[in-house]
């Protein structure tokens, strides 16, 4: 019994698997008895137990040696300027106005532009009058050579002015007046063109203007005397270029805001914000005082609505006129024409309200729409007459 156990232990050492130090005698004795008894199942279990223990020890060593590296920190994540975290004052106003292009509203100072233009215009006219008066004097007092030659004018005019050739109120020579006119005209032209550019800027929509005014009224980021510029609505301009359907876009945004507040209050759902707000827009204002919507998603919704409206305006009158003309009565043709007139008016109103189409574009679209319906009435009427004759 002891010899068998020693030989088994040596075999295990040869395989490189030491016995468990907790129960050496039990394991050796049981294996020795099974080996002496010649039981194949006992030998199979012993080899299986050594294989499992070897695999578990290798796995433990590999787990202890290999440690997973910490996740790499992303240093280029999106950074959003939050309106709630601004220091206040003019910094808060600038953060609010830069958060959305619709809030870029400032005074155009159209009155002051006109005042400065009038002042420069008067100065140019005064120099113009002096130049005309000097030309007439030289023409009537043997000074035609100075009018014909630029070099003679530059050389003789200072001497004539010094010796009292001109009248006492003529204090400047022609070259001096032209030099002053050059500077005044350049200044006048620059301001005139700048005023034209300012006049071409769009006025903010009522909704956008009320949003900015409500911000100043509710938040009061700056002192009231310095915030009075927002009250001059007729002088406020926006840097946002005109949109194709700005009015309808604003109507859609107002409807989405009301729907979001209703769903949030009644069901606690923020599905509108999840659909029409990006993560950056949600981070701009966390207190919910300002509603930001992604312009691309609003435009997509507006395009879907306009497509549905056009589809209805094209299909519905055709179906109605088909039902009317199918009656086969004399009055049916007049009814079909009445349907044509009504839907043409509805189509023109829809184009006018949903887009910023010009007058000629509105006229052309309405005429094309009416022509399509007229063609349908004519073709269906001819087919109906042919069927009745057969």
Specify the DSSP element, H or E, that contains 106: strand 105-107
- Same domain membership, residue 189 and residue 121: yes
**Cα 156 to chain centroid, rounded:** 65
Integer-rounded Cα Rg, in Å, for the chain is: 46
> In this structure, what are the phi and psi dihedrals at residue 125, rounded to the nearest 5 degrees?
-65, -35
For 289-322, how does the pLDDT look when each residue is reduced to its tens digit (9 = 90+)?
666 777 788 888 888 988 899 899 888 888 887 7
- Average pLDDT of the chain, as a whole number: 75
- Same domain membership, residue 117 and residue 102: no
**pLDDT value of residue 74:** 67
In-domain check, residue 85: no
Closest CA to 385 of 339, 341, 330, 338: 330
Percent of the chain with pLDDT over 70: 66
In-domain check, residue 328: yes
- Out of 13-27, 67-81, 91-105, 257-271, the most confident range is 91-105
Give the DSSP letter string of 131-175.
HHHHHHHHHHTT-HHHHH-HHHHHHHHHHHHHTT-S-TT--S-HH
CB 9 within 8 A of CB 19: yes
| Helix, strand, coil percent values for the chain (each to nearest 5) | 75, 0, 25
- Same domain membership, residue 317 and residue 333: yes
Residue 4 has pLDDT above 50, yes or no: no
User: Of 72 and 36, which is predicted with more confidence?
Assistant: 72
In-domain check, residue 70: no
**pLDDT value of residue 317:** 86
CB 82 within 8 A of CB 286: yes
Residue 178 has pLDDT above 50, yes or no: yes
**pLDDT value of residue 226:** 92
- Same domain membership, residue 282 and residue 226: no
- List of residues 6+ apart from 370 with CB closer than 8 A: 340, 344
**Per-residue pLDDT averaged across 247-261, rounded?**
81
**pLDDT value of residue 300:** 87
**pLDDT value of residue 299:** 83
In-domain check, residue 31: yes
The lowest-confidence range among 66-75, 283-292, 305-314, 379-388 is: 379-388
- Same domain membership, residue 187 and residue 113: yes
For 21-33, how does the pLDDT look when each residue is reduced to its tens digit (9 = 90+)?
444 343 334 434 4
- Same domain membership, residue 43 and residue 24: yes
**pLDDT value of residue 139:** 74
Q: What is the DSSP letter of 66?
A: -
- Same domain membership, residue 384 and residue 335: yes
Number of domains in the chain: 5
Cα 214 from Cα 98, distance rounded (Å): 16
Over the range 75-93, which residues count as b (16 or more CB within 10 Å of their CB) and which as e? eeeeeeeebeebeeeeebb
User: Of 174 and 107, which is predicted with more confidence?
Assistant: 107
> pLDDT-derived band of residue 46, with 50, 70 and 90 as boundaries?
low
For helices 174-199 and 110-140, angle between their N-to-C axes, nearest 10 degrees: 150
In-domain check, residue 287: yes
* Residue ranges making up the domain that contains 52: 2-65
- Same domain membership, residue 210 and residue 96: yes
**Per-residue pLDDT averaged across 348-374, rounded?**
86
- Same domain membership, residue 258 and residue 227: no
Q: What is the DSSP letter of 329?
A: -
Residue 223 has pLDDT above 90, yes or no: yes
In-domain check, residue 76: no
- Same domain membership, residue 348 and residue 208: no
């Amino acid at each position: 019994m002891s010899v068998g156990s020693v030989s088994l232990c040596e075999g295990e050492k040869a395989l490189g698997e030491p016995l468990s130090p907790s129960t050496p005698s039990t394991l050796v004795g049981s294996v020795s008895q099974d080996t002496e008894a010649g039981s194949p199942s006992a030998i199979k279990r012993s080899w299986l137990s050594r294989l499992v223990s070897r695999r578990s020890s290798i796995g433990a060593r590999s787990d202890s040696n290999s440690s997973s590296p910490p996740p790499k920190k992303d240093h280029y994540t999106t950074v959003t300027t939050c309106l709630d975290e601004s220091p206040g004052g003019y910094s808060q106003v600038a953060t609010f106005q830069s958060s959305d292009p619709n809030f870029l509203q400032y005074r155009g100072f159209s009155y002051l532009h006109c005042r400065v233009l009038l002042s420069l215009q008067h100065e140019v006219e005064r120099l113009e009058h002096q130049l005309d008066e000097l030309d007439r004097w030289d023409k009537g007092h043997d000074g035609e050579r100075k009018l014909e030659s630029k070099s003679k004018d530059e050389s003789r005019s200072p001497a004539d002015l010094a010796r009292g050739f001109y009248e006492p109120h003529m204090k400047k020579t022609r070259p001096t007046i032209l030099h002053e006119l050059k500077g005044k005209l350049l200044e006048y032209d620059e301001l005139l063109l700048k005023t034209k550019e300012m006049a071409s800027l769009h006025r903010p929509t009522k909704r956008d203007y009320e949003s900015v005014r409500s911000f100043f009224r509710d938040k009061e980021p700056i002192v009231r005397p310095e915030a009075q510029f927002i009250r001059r609505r007729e002088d406020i301009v926006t840097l946002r270029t005109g949109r194709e359907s700005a009015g309808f876009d604003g109507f859609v945004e107002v409807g989405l805001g009301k729907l979001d507040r209703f769903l949030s209050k009644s069901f606690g759902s923020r599905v509108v914000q999840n659909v029409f707000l990006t993560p950056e827009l949600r981070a701009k204002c966390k207190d919910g005082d300002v509603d930001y919507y992604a312009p691309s998603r609003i435009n997509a919704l507006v395009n879907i609505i306009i497509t549905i409206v056009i589809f209805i305006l094209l299909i519905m009158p055709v179906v109605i006129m088909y039902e009317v003309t199918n009656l086969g009565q004399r009055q049916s043709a007049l009814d079909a024409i009445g349907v044509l007139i009504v839907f043409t008016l509805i189509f023109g109103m829809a184009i006018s309200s949903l887009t910023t189409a010009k007058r000629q574009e509105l006229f052309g679209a309405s005429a094309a729409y009416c022509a399509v319906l007229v063609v349908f009435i004519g073709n269906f009427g001819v087919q109906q007459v042919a069927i009745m004759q057969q």
